Structure 1
């Protein structure tokens, strides 16, 4: 599931804003970029905070704003909306939240319902929303906060992945730990992080049995070599990706014996062929992970010319200076940490249902980095379909993308 549309009417009593999110088919294996730019004061950051509030069902931001109505529509056409109801003196009486067939009236000044009779309605809205969005991940990056060096070690991020309802701050131990967890989890739940065109393994093997073709010993031996080379090319062992336990020598020995037979055993060749298909399928998953990790590593090393970045399952991300001294994250410059943070988010993105909203990504970054940033994030999130939302003033970041924020004057 992805975002399809956001709309707010009467923001600040001045503007109607709408965003039509470009939907990307999972088969296309690429991220979508939503660019929001315009003059100061029209509400770009506010729009991101409103989306964050809708995702969390936290309506504190809406209680503080002058607006009429806002909604967020998903790719399944379900919509969560909030409407502000005012009295004749234009004082907020209550907020009305609606999702699917459930509605609830909320207190205009503090967290909670307008009255106790609305509490059951609130429970219903939350239950429906939580069920539909349990696999959806949203993260809003407040770049100004990110830049404050004294927050690096215990930076509060607002991340929701299957926990969209209860508002609570989560402490991320470190970016290195985040990468380490990603390497571990993606080896167990590969389909969550990487899209693929490969047919299901069982279906593939079954098809080969039902529609047998001649199996070449030379071809089988070549595939054994290819699997071995894959481990080396993609640095499987160094990255800490689990290697398959298989006996290459024994397989080659069996094939050599069959090659000397006047009539090789079709049964043996079929079994070996199926076994290699299992190995190839598993290594395809491993190379998807390895490829993303190596791209991440290369891009960061291209950006950080006086440092060396290395990834492994044991340490997540290890950073060293030109003297080979270990550097911890809090010792990075503000811009370096900002870059590392954004690239780690891109690295850990899921196939679908991942939204990363970034307010003013250009802050603390040299113009040469700004020019390369978005392409770097797209490359790192390879074989996945995250939605990136950027609110920016930088022409260097926005230059190659259409402004997705459509603004009209609000008329009562």
Structure 2
């Protein structure tokens, strides 16, 4: 099996090539970006092809092959889909292959997991007469290895044309606290994939996504606070040491720590804290009393105060640095939605209050009152924000659905900006001229190799 040269700058589990043989018995594709220039963003692949060429089915096969929850019908979808072989090649040298022997295009199949051409897992997946997969009796240990290998390393989201965001994370029982609500969701999920009740699932996934976003923000704030305060004991040790070192005379070098410089540093910290306090990441700093003390005392006293105060300022600066990435992301998240997408309404993020939606008049809105396009955007942005800590693939079928031309132009750029520096990849299928022309280097055209 010939593998692609791996671009080391790519996310470790990003898709670099998809191959499918005899899809529906008639289509064979090798899907790889036409230009592997490392300067072209590897976090975006756009599939383009004629109606009926199999774009949507390829996206679904990708989602089900890489998803691992045994209760959600992933293997059954593969068993019910007509293909001879479906292969996914990742940037780290991993490849996952589902294939059938002889001339069979439906039903039972084999699952193989390779790392750099070495077979590390091989499972036989057996379907019944109706092409349902209920249990795997043979090679169960290999299949569990396959599941755990992917589950620990990769998360998947699929947004289909019914505008329901699907992911195994939404199958987590702990995400739903209301028992009756959980029963409704379980009932709604009976049946095969994409035969669920869209309205119920859309509401639930949106609420769940908002809840996960709120928890993510609180976790980030707590981590930053812990990092900023982890050295409190050391700070007091340094303060005591500085006090003891201060004698009746101050060495000439101390004069570089002038009261004026300290006042400037205090004011800079106060101004910087406002950006963090707007999201509740920390309380705003009020330095005026300390500034007044520095101004009203003698120069010698002010220098003594500066020796005591400097460790505290260093700790505040460390906390700023610990929270800076989170503050940047929340700013991008909030301003992108408010300035580029939402009209006559806006969102606010806060550690204490969570994610709230308001009208221009300040009246709070329920997420259910949003339009279908607004719900779709909020779903995507919430889940891209919370997915940054793990390799994640968002598979989106026709993202232009429910979006006007202006939003189509801005959507992908905004998602890529929010996920910059993460291990998140977007794989889309579209007919939108706006998306195809703007990201031409990321487009992969479906060309049938059977002809």
Structure-2 separation of matches of 1:158 and 1:295: 24
Partner of 1:208: none
Count, aligned residues: 367
80, 87, 98: which is aligned to 2:96?
80
Q: TM-score, normalised by structure 1?
A: 0.74
2:57 to 39, 46, 59: 46
Q: How does 1:142-291 map to 2 (within 5 A)?
A: 142-146=160-164, 157-160=166-169, 171-172=204-205, 173-188=207-222, 216-217=257-258, 218-232=260-274, 234=275, 236-243=276-283, 248=287, 260-261=299-300, 273=310, 275-291=312-328
Contact 2:49/2:446 (8 A) holds in 1: no
Q: Please give the secondary structure, in 2, of the residue aligned with 1:355.
A: strand
CA distance in 1, matches of 2:372, 2:271: 40
Once residues 158 and 309 of structure 2 are traced to their aligned partners in structure 1, the CA distance between those partners, rounded to angstroms, is 49
2:7 match? none
In the TM superposition, 1:5-404 aligns within 5 A as 5-10=16-21, 11-13=23-25, 14-20=27-33, 32-57=43-68, 58-86=74-102, 90=104, 92=106, 94-100=108-114, 101-108=120-127, 109-112=131-134, 116-131=137-152, 133=153, 136-146=154-164, 157-160=166-169, 171-172=204-205, 173-188=207-222, 216-217=257-258, 218-232=260-274, 234=275, 236-243=276-283, 248=287, 260-261=299-300, 273=310, 275-302=312-339, 303-350=341-388, 353-401=391-439, 402-404=441-443
CA distance in 1, matches of 2:328, 2:16: 33
Q: Is the 8 A contact 1:239 1:311 kept in 2?
A: yes
Q: 1:299 to 1:122 in 2, by over 3 A?
A: closer
- Give, in whole Å, the separation in 1 of the partners of 2:37 and 2:43: 7
**Structure 2: distance between partners of 1:159 and 1:59:** 13
TM-score by length of 2: 0.68
Which runs of 5 or more structure 2 residues have no equivalent in the other structure?
1-11, 69-73, 115-119, 173-185, 190-200, 225-230, 236-252
Q: Distance in 2 between matches of 1:358 and 1:124?
A: 28
Distance 1:353 1:257, change over 3 A: farther
Cα distance, 1:403–1:379 mapped onto 2, change above 3 Å: closer
Deviates more, 1:96-105 or 1:395-404: 395-404
User: 2:78 is paired with a residue of what secondary structure?
Assistant: helix
Bigger Rg, which one: 2
Contact kept in structure 1, 2:33 and 2:442, CA below 8 Å: no
Q: 1 CA distance for matches of 2:222 and 2:35? A: 30
Measure, in 2, the Cα distance between the counterparts of 1:65 and 1:260: 81
Can you list the C-alpha shifts for 1:157-213, whole angstroms capped at 9, x where unaligned? 3144998xxxx97954344323312211222457xxxxxxxxxx9xxx9xxxxxxx9
- Any conservation in 2 of the 1:6–1:70 contact (CA below 8 Å)? no
Q: Structure 1's 113 and 162: CA in aligned 2 closer, same or farther, altered over 3 A? A: closer
The alignment's C-alpha RMSD in Å is 4.0
The 1:276/1:396 distance shift into structure 2, 3 A limit, reads: same
Change (3 A) 1:295 1:216: same
Larger relative contact order (C-alpha < 8 A, sep ≥ 6)?
A: 1
Looking at structure 1, the residues matched to 94 and 359 of structure 2 have their Cα atoms a distance apart, in angstroms, of 50
Could you tell me which runs of 5 or more consecutive residues in structure 1 were left unpaired when the two chains were aligned: 147-155, 191-200, 206-212
Pair 117,223 (structure 1): closer, same or farther in 2 beyond 3 Å: same
Contact 2:84/2:105, CA 8 A, preserved across alignment: no
